[in-house]
């Protein structure tokens, strides 16, 4: 069999480019960021986070502006969620954070609704207004229970 160095080099480069593209897509799907912008950490406390997970997106008007950094229980046994958002955002102190679901059965994310105050949130501050995740199981249970009671 004859060796063709030019062809072998071309095939090797093609495989290398394919592996780099696969690695990049894996990082994007996983929610990791290679070169991150300046981040500001904010806190939000929820009664129920549903299926929210670390690295879930934080969005304003549907645009990704950050991600969930960590989830812990506070002393009152409520979910304490730390959010990393772009530091260039001027979020008013009366902004709210709500856990939403993309689609009917999609992944959960934090949606930030902007407030109207002039004062802005600073590093480490907490959202005063939060809305917990909507539990489909609880809604169905209440519906079944209420339907049974009215008979």
pLDDT in tens, 17-30: 999 999 888 876 66
User: pLDDT band for position 6 (50/70/90)?
Assistant: confident
In angstroms, rounded to a whole number, what is the distance separating the alpha carbons of residues 92 and 149?
45
Beta strands in the chain (DSSP E): 39-46, 57-60, 63-73, 79-86, 96-101, 108-113, 129-131
Q: In the chain, what are the domain boundaries? A: 1-30, 39-136
pTM for the model stands at 0.70
Rounded percentage of the chain residues whose pLDDT exceeds 90: 46
pLDDT tens, residue by residue, 52-89: 899 999 999 989 999 999 999 999 999 999 999 998 88
Strands laid side by side in the 108-113 sheet? 39-46, 79-86, 63-73, 57-60, 108-113, 96-101, 129-131
Residue 99, φ and ψ in degrees, nearest 5:
-90, 120
How many angstroms separate the CA atoms of 59 and 95, rounded?
13
């Amino acid at each position: 069999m004859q060796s063709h160095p030019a062809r072998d080099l071309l095939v090797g480069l093609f495989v290398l480019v394919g592996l780099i593209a696969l690695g990049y897509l894996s990082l994007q799907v996983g929610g990791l960021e290679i070169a991150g912008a300046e981040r500001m950490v904010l806190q939000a406390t929820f009664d129920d986070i549903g299926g929210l997970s670390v690295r879930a997106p934080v969005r304003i008007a549907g645009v990704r502006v950050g991600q969930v950094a960590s989830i812990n229980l506070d002393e009152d046994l409520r979910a304490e969620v730390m959010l990393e958002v772009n530091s260039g955002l001027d979020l008013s102190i009366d902004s709210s954070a709500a856990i939403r679901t993309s689609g009917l059965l999609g992944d959960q994310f934090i949606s930030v609704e902007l407030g109207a105050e002039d004062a802005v949130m600073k590093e480490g501050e907490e959202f005063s207004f939060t809305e917990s995740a909507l539990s489909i199981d609880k809604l169905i249970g209440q519906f079944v229970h209420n339907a049974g009671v009215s008979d």
